Structures are given as C-alpha cells and as structure tokens.
Amino acid sequence: MEEGASSKFQFGSLHTEDMTATALVANENCSDTRVPYSDQVVSDSARNQNKLYTITSVCFICINVDIRANGEKLETVQSFKYLGADEGSKPEILSRIAQTTSAVTKLKLIWKDRKITLPSKIRLMRSLVTSIFLYACESWTLTAGIERRIQAVEMRCFRRLLNISYRDHIFNQEVRNRIGQAIGPYDDLLTIVKKRKLRWCGHVTRSTGLAKMILQGTVPGGRRRGTQRKRWEDNIPEWTGLKLPVALRET
C-alpha cells in the first residue's frame, strides 16, 4: 500500500488471502465499502515460488468530503465553469450556443421593432450576441458535427433577427441573401471562428513561451489504438491544405 492513501481514507482492515488488497472506506453515504487500491505486480519471493500476483488498481474518489471555508460547507458539484469555460471543446461550445440562444431571445423586442433599421439590428447582433459565442473560440477543436452546430445557431439568430419562422419555409440561402443585401459581403460565424483560430496559432508559433511549448511539444509514448480523437492542431492542416510542420513554418 502506498503511503499517502491513508491521508484521504480511513482503512479499517486489510485482507491478503488471495493477494487482492481491499480497504474499508467510511463516508456519509457508505459505511462499509471495499475498494481495491494497489497497482503493482509483485513477486512472492518469500515462498520461493515463481508466480506473479497481479493486484488491480482502481482510482477511488470520495465525493462526499466535508470541506468548509470560514465555517461554511462548500457545495460538491459534478462540474463547474472556470473563467467562463467548461472542460473540453464540445461542452464549452454547447454552453456558448445555449448562452447565445438565450441572449438573442432576450432581445426579441428589438428584433420586432420596425423603427430600427436592419443594418442597425445586425450591428446590435454582432456586438451583443455574436461576441458571447466567440469568447475563447481560438481554443476550440472543431469536428464536422460541431461545425454544423455553429452554422445552425447562426441561422437561428438570423431568423430571429428577420422575424422569419421555420413554418414560413424560407431556405437558409435566402436568409443569407437578405443579410448580405443589408450589409454587403460578410463572413459567416464558422469562418470567423476559423480565422481567429488560425490567427492565434500563428501568434503562438511566432512567440516564445509556455503556450508554444504546449502547442508544439512532444511527450514519450503513443496514442491508443483505434479511431483517434481529434486534436486542436488537426484543424490547421484541414483548413490550410498544408501539413502541420509546413503550415507552422509559413506563419
């Protein structure tokens, strides 16, 4: 048993009949729970037997720890936002989509006001709604599914702005044409996200510091077998048509 585990849990008994170590854990909800804890493969040299005993490892986290600050108990949650962002790209993007949808809904009186011109409404949309969605978009890893969601939320905002219902059976291209006629050529939301990410990649590549070390650094080992999860830097070759080392040199 590694030292330090006892500082987190109270171990009541230890059984070694079959070389599988268990521990008794006491907390608020479970008074007697057996948990395997070791991760070593040991040799029983004392018995002079050439047998290896595998002891399984399970990471056990007690979620009912009573932590208090200034006499007040801190709430235990499954996840939380840190600096306005959730863990990972997909939860963060879904959170941004929800915030964007909420913001555009709260401004429905402005979208329905006939005294405000369409170009003015679009400028309000960009400053009050689009800016919420684009916060920290440079750090996102985009997949095909995420890109479709970004395009969908943009069309949802445009339809709210133009007071167009899906029951009107107006195609997305017609919605884009109406926006283009009001303000001229414009970059759609997905294009803005891609440009910001490429711009930030070039900025980090040209700089020297921790961000560049994390982006271009390597560690020993390999990736697991099977379909690989898309990485942040995998978007760069897709959008530029260049291999990643070449794209980084071109920046």
* pTM higher than 0.85: no
Where residue 83 falls among pLDDT bands split at 50, 70, 90? low
pLDDT confidence of 80, banded at 50, 70, 90? low
Whole-angstrom distance, CA of residue 146 vs CA of residue 90: 7
Mean pLDDT across 86-99: 83
Q: What is the mean pLDDT of the chain?
A: 77
- In this predicted model, what pLDDT tens digit does every residue of 208-227 receive, in sequence order? 888 888 888 877 888 788 88
Question: Residue 47 is encoded by which pair of tokens?
Answer: 């018995």
Query: What does the pLDDT look like over 22-42, one tens digit per residue?
Result: 433 444 444 444 444 444 444
pLDDT at 193: 96
Give pLDDT, residue 105: 94
Where are the domains positioned within the chain? Answer: 1-76, 82-215+231-251
* pLDDT exceeds 70 at position 18: no
The reported pLDDT for the residue numbered 40 is 46
pLDDT at 226: 83
How far, in Å, CA of 51 to CA of 82, rounded?
Answer: 49
pLDDT value at 200 more than 60 = yes
Instruction: Please give the full DSSP string across 191-204, using - where no structure is assigned.
Output: HHHHHHHHHHHHHH
Distance CA 155, CA 116 (A): 20
